[in-house]
Structure 1
Amino acid sequence: MPFRFKMQKVLDYREQLEEEAKARLATAQRRHQEAREQLEQLQVALRHAQDRLCDEALMDAAERWLLERYAKGLRGDVSAASLQVRMLAQMVEEARNLLAARAMDKKLLDKLRERQKRHYAREEQLKEQRFNDEIATLRYKAPSF
């Protein structure tokens, strides 16, 4: 009779939870990376606008006013994007912690299953050995006088 782990459904559920946590972490990491790239693009645009502001000689007052408003808007966008990056970094950390907890739960059940499997194999081996000993005893029984 093959080994059957009584808590296999629980182990399967824990494996499913671990896979979901992996997917959640991957999504959070992807969103964080996209937010960082957007922040970098905004920072580059802000630096470019500030560099253009330093070149006062080439623009009139209206153009300068528009460029200052544009730079001010970019600063607001950069601060919002920076906040978004921090929030997403925190979400990545939470997803990583969740994955670690789920992996630990699954690993505990895996260890229990392996321990029970070894115990079952040992018991089966002992049963077989006892059976063989009994057969040998009956087969090679000394003749009675």
Structure 2
Amino acid sequence: MKKFQFSLQRVLEYRMTLEDQAKAKFANVQRIINQTEQEIVELGHEKRDMMDVREFNLGRLQVQRRYLAELDNEIMAAQSRLRDLHAEHQKALNEYVEAQKERKVLEKLRDKQKEDYQLEANHEEQKQLDEMANRPKYKMA
């Protein structure tokens, strides 16, 4: 009997590729989220440090106020990006999970077909053994 060959092997390989791509996209979005969160923390630290500077020079206070306003704008922009990234992250997660499901369906089909193939091979082998056992035995003198 010939070796088992899954008829949808190329489709399975394609789905594995799609899953790897979805996984990479998910990981990339997660990395960007982490960077954005770190950026927000650093901007918050910088703002806090700026608030601690106490100079009573009017020019310095005006510059400080403008800089703090700009930091607030940057923080708000980063938080807005973060909200968008979380939505993209959820979408990427859903795509990854769906790709996993599609791959697993084909793997289960392959496993089932391989099991059926093995049962058929065992049945064929038993049939051949039975035929050999039922052949008349001749003695050679």
Q: How does the TM-score come out when normalised to structure 2?
A: 0.91
1:49-73 deviation line (CA, Å, top 9, x unaligned): 2233xx3xx3211111111111111
Taking the aligned partners of 1:139 and 1:28, their CA distance within structure 2 comes to: 73
Instruction: Specify the alignment match of 1:13 in structure 2.
Output: 14
- Mapped to 2, the partners of 1:126 and 1:68 lie a distance apart of 85
Distance in 1 separating the partners of 2:22 and 2:77: 28
Alpha-carbon shift at residue 83 of structure 1 (Å): 0.8
SS of the residue corresponding to residue 139 of structure 1 reads: coil
1:69 equivalent in alignment to 2:66: yes
**Where do residues 65-144 of structure 1 align in structure 2 (5 Å cutoff)?**
65-140=62-137
Deviations for 1:12-34, whole angstroms, at most 9, x for unmatched residues?
00000011111111111111111
- Structure 1: which 4+ aligned runs deviate by more than 4 Å? none
Aligned residue pair count: 137
Q: CA deviation at 1:97?
A: 1.3
What do you get for the CA RMSD once the two structures are aligned? 1.4
User: What residue number does 2:32 align with?
Assistant: 31
For residue 121 of structure 2, what is the amino acid of its counterpart?
A: E
Identity within the alignment, %: 30
**TM-score normalised by L of structure 1:** 0.88
